[in-house]
Amino acid sequence: MWKTITAVCVHAVLLVGLIIWFGRGEPPALPDIAAPPSGEAGTETTPHDFKFTGELERDITLRVLENDTAIKQGYFAELLEAFNAEYTGYGIIAIDANMDQYLDLENDGPYGYGPDVLYQANDMIMKHVEGHHIQPLPVEQLDCFSQIDARAWQAYQDINGIYYGVPVNVQAPVLYYRKDLLPENWETEWDKNKNGIPDMVENWVDLYRFSLQRREEGAYGYMKALYDVYFASGFLFSYGGYAFGNNGNDAKDIGFAGGDAEKGAYVIKQLASLMNEDCIDNTINNTQYSKIASGEYFCTVTTPDVYTMFVREMELVGVPVENLVIASVPMLPASGDLTDADSELIPCVMMGGVNGYAISSYTKYPNASLAFIDFATRYEMVMRRHEILGIVPARADAAQETGGLTLIVNEALAAGNLSIMPSIRQVAQIWTPMETLFSDIAKDAFRPAAQQKFVSLDDFKQALIESNQQVYDAIWTLN
């Protein structure tokens, strides 16, 4: 329950179309802070468990680390202005930490170089739990707690159920496509189920066929950097693969070769055959915004929070923004063969993440830091973040209000069609081995037939098994 501090008076202030109430005097204080769990079996209590007293520090400056997109698109400036106005009575000022968004708190925090509050993906935040570099949080006291799905909260829980972060948005791959580049006859020739949705944005079999047609016309259909583990691993997961066992907590059970994951690896090679060799590295990820805007690419898969990047490029070349459509990632053929028009279709289970806020263990202002997180995760600020950045809110009330794709992503999360990246520090060791394999698979599409490495499903399976071992060795032998 929140402590009430009497305000001298309250005025309604309109901030760029968003109504926020500012306290002119003593602003609302922190919630009553209950001591975090201690003394329970299997838990470890550390000295910084008890930093939260409920009494705000006064006349201080908070350094907040945000992601680059939020800074570039102006959201972060609005957030800082709104927070500082509400907490001016305490002399609390939040500023941009002006640090790289991928700051390594583990190495920099102990030396005083680091933010008080940081915004990152769950794997980036939770890797700091083991070394006690981030603060356990009394999240049950926050305004957003009851509004966020338990699956999103799990991304910020350790094995003892202690929370270390606060979810803001769910990161899930989505399909971006240009509806004005659809064939004129798509309603009669590319809508087999007559549901008013083009087949090529509903399933990969038809998207593959359409992409081949685009290549014959001198353009491209689907384009994506296929070495990118965050996106490409979803093809493995769709057929039974996984990163770590026990809901991502068992780093000795590495499952990229699990189930029929070799079918997903085969999908990657087939998709590469639609593209050019830019798919082997990060080139497409860097150019996708301008290439979609120019019409050279029909579609790509990336995250909702970069929507404004596409919009900006389309405005630069004079293409109406309404021609850009966002949809769910298409379904896959159960056979793994993108030329198999008779195959049953299955959901594409993509890797996702949960971005949120955490507090550095090295902060001198834990209570003010918690107040900032509570403010930044309120309904109004999350809605504003959605309006500016196109994020998928983790808050259920905000998701309900925004509807559309937001509800689709949250439903995918609830249905298990979104595999949240593990929140243990060992996840850092999956990227290099899997990037190497995915690059090699993509490159295979451009090798002469006699030199190709991956000809059968068994070839893909063996390569996945070997990559599993490389991840295992990186974690348990070399690291």
Delineate the domains of the chain, giving CATH numbers in brackets: 10-35+45-164+353-415 (3.40.190.10), 174-349+424-478 (3.40.190.10)
Distance CA 150, CA 117 (A): 23
The arithmetic mean of pLDDT across residues 424-445, rounded, is 95
Amino acid at 79: L
Say which residue, 32 or 289, is predicted with more confidence.
289
Residue 42 has pLDDT above 70, yes or no: no
Using CA of residue 389, residue 150, residue 37, residue 138, what is the dihedral sign?
Answer: positive
3-state secondary structure of 12: strand
The confidence score (pLDDT) of residue 4 equals 35
What is the structure's pLDDT at 366?
A: 96
List, in sequence order, the alpha helices (H) in 403-456: 404-415, 431-444
Instruction: Output phi, psi for 236, to 5 deg.
Output: -70, -45
Question: What's the CA gap between 353 and 3, in Å, rounded?
Answer: 34
> 3-class DSSP state for residue 240?
coil
Q: At residue 108, does pLDDT exceed 80?
A: no
Dihedral angle sign, alpha carbons of residues 440, 442, 448, 453? positive
Both tokens assigned to 109: 């925090």
In angstroms, the CA 346 to CA 330 distance is: 9
Reply yes or no on whether the pLDDT at 190 is more than 60. Answer: yes
Is the separation of the CB atoms in 155 and 419 below 8 Å?
no
Place of tokens 């603060």: 135
pLDDT band at 479 (very low <50, low <70, confident <90, very high): low
Mean pLDDT for 462-477 is 96
Note the pLDDT of residue 34: 35
Q: For the residues 342-365, what does the mean pLDDT come to?
A: 95
Q: How confident is the model at residue 146 (pLDDT cuts 50, 70, 90)?
A: very high
**In the prediction, which pLDDT does 50 show?**
55
Return the half-sphere exposure (C-beta side, CA atoms, 13 A cut-off) of residue 192: 9
Where is average pLDDT lowest: 31-35, 268-272, 323-327, 440-444? 31-35
pTM beyond 0.75: the answer is: yes
